[in-house]
């Protein structure tokens, strides 16, 4: 083994260790930032090792790609707001999967006849997963950005069509796996995989996007693993496996948090139909004057804030932290209740509140905080809807029946900050908003919270 190869394998070992340490550190908010640094250092080591250990035909394309990619990445990192982080993440999945698919296509064109049966199978798996993840991630990004309708897109015979596309894709994969000379089978598989990615995501509503994001992340990781087997690259195999299986585990955990199965998410079309105003909903939403809300908060003993996607769109995380600190100065006990699928990607609310320097010790997961709601004087719901809908608990006919929720309706008083009287992404009416103990405070969340800060100061 040459010195260059030895150095490459050594850097791959270091990179793999850093990836594992990074993943471990990212499992807790207190160490997540450090975990990102570990992962970045690991990726740098993997790239350097590859450049050292491989014969480079020309540095022009490598340097050009490095500069272009760095420029685009820096621009996105600086300019994309936290509210757009879910769609930004979806684009990252698309780019990674596209890279895997393109590498596979290039390898097939150059080395297909020389490949072993195992390597050719890995290549087909790589291209198929990479292609469907690319289009699926682009559709997810479009839904999250609002470029594509967020509600499920469904039509008669859709599942049959999806099954036919899937069977055709697998059939083409088996055909070129057996005989690589049949080029039409390979490229037909690529086309069907691209179509399957679109058809897989369009029937899924925005309410299920956190699970879809996690699942697409898993697919991109598994595509990278297959790329590692095709190229004989150990660090790709390790990194892709870590990414793929961690994403799959997260998807399963999130489905559990929503009381749904993966197949239900992929084929159920959550939100396609609007349930009866939910049978438990009805009556009048009662509005509360700003000054009355401020007095309730100022003289409460316990207050819990429940952030949702509305907090992200209003960029109100700094305003809610300022209000919470003001209440704490008055002796009020303040906590934040975090639902596992609040927002549009895993950990969305945690990231937003961390950006506003809200201490992690003040964030409470659903199972921790639910027993405390009956003893809480005021719960402030900021842009959350489906994750606080009591129909999930009380109405067996509801589309979200059985989904674990934050039981804010058990608190002594609930103040809901909303722009208007619209429904959540699931399309369901929320009976919480009609309950006697609930009052609505309409307006932009950031502006309303800033006004509450001033009103509480004067109370």
Annotated catalytic sites, by residue? 386
Look at residues 373, 353, 378 and name the one whose alpha carbon lies nearest to residue 363.
353
| Cα angle value 364/370/375 (rounded, 5°) | 105
- Distance of alpha carbon 139 from alpha carbon 149, whole angstroms: 10
For the four alpha carbons of 265, 269, 270 and 275, in that order, the dihedral sign comes to negative
> Phi/psi of residue 308, each to 5°?
-140, -170
- Distance of alpha carbon 187 from alpha carbon 410, whole angstroms: 57
Q: Where are the alpha helices (DSSP H) in 153-301?
A: 158-178, 183-201, 209-231, 234-257, 262-268, 290-298
- Distance of alpha carbon 252 from alpha carbon 214, whole angstroms: 9
Look-up: residue for tokens 């394998």? 9
| Cα angle value 160/164/166 (rounded, 5°) | 115
- Distance of alpha carbon 392 from alpha carbon 428, whole angstroms: 11
What's the burial of 17, exposed, middle or buried (CB within 10 Å: 0-12/13-18/19+)? middle
Under 8 Å CB-to-CB from 292, ≥6 apart: which residues? 439
Q: Output the six-digit token pair for 194.
A: 């691209």
Contact assessment for residue 224 and residue 238, using Cβ atoms and an 8 Å cutoff: no
Look-up: residue for tokens 């039981």? 407
Q: How many CB atoms lie within 10 A of CB 181?
A: 9
Contact assessment for residue 29 and residue 350, using Cβ atoms and an 8 Å cutoff: yes
The sheet carrying 438-442 orders its strands as: 363-365, 333-338, 302-307, 378-382, 414-418, 438-442
Q: Output the six-digit token pair for 326.
A: 């003001």
Residue 102 CA: distances (Å) to CA of 192, 233, 395: 15, 16, 48
What is the 8-class DSSP label of residue 54? S
Strand partners, 302: 333
* Inter-axis angle of helices 445-458 and 317-329, nearest 10: 20
- Distance of alpha carbon 308 from alpha carbon 82, whole angstroms: 14
């Amino acid at each position: 083994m040459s010195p260059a190869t030895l150095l490459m394998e050594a850097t791959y070992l270091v990179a793999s260790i850093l990836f594992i340490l990074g993943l471990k550190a990212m499992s807790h908010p207190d160490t997540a930032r450090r975990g990102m640094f570990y992962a970045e250092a690991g990726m740098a080591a993997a790239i350097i090792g590859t450049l050292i250990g491989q014969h480079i035909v020309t540095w022009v394309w490598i340097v050009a790609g490095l500069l272009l990619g760095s420029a685009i990445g820096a621009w996105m990192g600086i300019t994309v707001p936290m509210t757009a982080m879910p769609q930004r993440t979806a684009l990252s999945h698309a780019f990674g999967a596209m890279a895997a698919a393109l590498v596979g296509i290039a390898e097939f064109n150059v080395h297909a006849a020389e490949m072993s049966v195992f390597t050719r199978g890995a290549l087909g798996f790589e291209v198929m997963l990479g292609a469907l993840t690319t289009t699926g991630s682009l559709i997810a990004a479009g839904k999250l950005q609002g470029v594509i309708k967020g509600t499920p897109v469904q039509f008669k015979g859709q599942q049959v069509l999806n099954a036919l596309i899937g069977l055709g894709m697998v059939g083409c994969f088996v055909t070129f796996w057996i005989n690589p000379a049949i080029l039409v089978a390979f490229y037909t598989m690529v086309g069907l995989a691209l179509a399957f990615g679109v058809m897989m995501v369009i029937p899924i509503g925005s309410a299920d996007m956190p699970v879809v994001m996690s699942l697409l992340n898993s697919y991109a990781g598994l595509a990278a693993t297959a790329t590692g087997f095709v190229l004989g690259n150990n660090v790709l195999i390790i990194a892709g496996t870590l990414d793929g299986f961690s994403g799959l585990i997260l998807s399963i955990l999130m489905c559990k948090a929503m009381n749904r199965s993966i197949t239900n998410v992929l084929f159920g079309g959550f939100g396609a139909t609007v349930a009866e105003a939910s049978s438990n909903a009805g009556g009048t939403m009662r509005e509360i004057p700003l000054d009355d809300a401020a007095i309730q908060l100022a003289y409460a003993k316990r207050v819990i804030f429940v952030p949702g996607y509305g907090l992200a769109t209003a960029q109100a995380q700094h305003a809610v932290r300022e209000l919470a600190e003001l209440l704490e100065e008055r002796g009020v006990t303040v906590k934040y209740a975090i639902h596992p699928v609040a927002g549009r990607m895993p950990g969305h609310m945690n990231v937003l509140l961390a950006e506003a320097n809200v201490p992690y010790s003040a964030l409470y997961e659903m199972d921790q905080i639910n027993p405390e709601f009956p003893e809480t004087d005021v719960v402030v719901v900021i842009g959350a809807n489906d994750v606080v809908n009591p129909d999930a608990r009380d109405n067996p006919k509801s589309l979200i029946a059985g989904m674990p929720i934050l039981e804010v309706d058990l608190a002594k008083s609930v103040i809901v900050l909303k722009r208007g009287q619209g429904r959540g992404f699931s399309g369901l009416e929320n009976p919480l908003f009609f309950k006697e103990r609930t009052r609505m405070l309409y307006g932009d969340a950031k502006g309303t919270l800033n006004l509450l800060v001033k009103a509480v100061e004067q109370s």
